[in-house]
Amino acid sequence: MKIGLVAREYLTEIEVRKYTPKTIRSYRNNLNLFLRFCEQETEVREVEDISLGTVKLLFLFAFFHFISFFLQPDPFSIRNAIYHQLER
């Protein structure tokens, strides 16, 4: 099943369960970041393709982006560092 469809279904479910608007907005923002990450940085398009490696890559990617915000190194070296860590 496509991850975008599952994300929309989940957001509908939490609206029905009366989660607060702030919680729904936060979940939507985080899901959108994850979907964009999967689309731009991985081959993941289906829920069945999500693995522990996908989640680890997301955390590494977020960490290196956080670091680059403060240190502003070459963005290509950040991407290479992430993929180098995954090869270990």
Q: Hey, what amino acid is at 12?
A: T
pTM recorded for the entire structure: 0.68
Q: Where are the domains of the chain?
A: 1-50, 51-88
What pLDDT score was predicted for residue 43?
Answer: 85
Predicted confidence (pLDDT) per residue in 67-81, tens digit? 666 665 555 565 666
CA distance 42 to 56: 12
Predicted confidence (pLDDT) per residue in 36-70, tens digit? 888 888 888 999 999 998 888 888 888 777 766 66
What pLDDT score was predicted for residue 63?
Answer: 79
Instruction: Please state, rounded to an integer, the average pLDDT across all residues of the chain.
Output: 83
Predicted confidence (pLDDT) per residue in 18-29, tens digit? 999 999 999 999
- Yes or no: say if 28 and 11 are a contact pair by the CB < 8 Å rule: yes
Q: Which helix (H) or strand (E) holds 50?
A: none
| DSSP at 80 | H
What confidence tier does 16 reach under pLDDT thresholds 50, 70, 90?
Answer: very high
- The two three-digit tokens of residue 40, written as one number: 């731009």
Locate tokens 């240190």: which residue?
Answer: 71
Query: Could you write out the DSSP letters of every residue in 26-49?
Result: HHHHHHHHHHHHHHHHSS--BGGG
For 56, residues 6+ apart whose C-beta sits below 8 A from its C-beta are 86
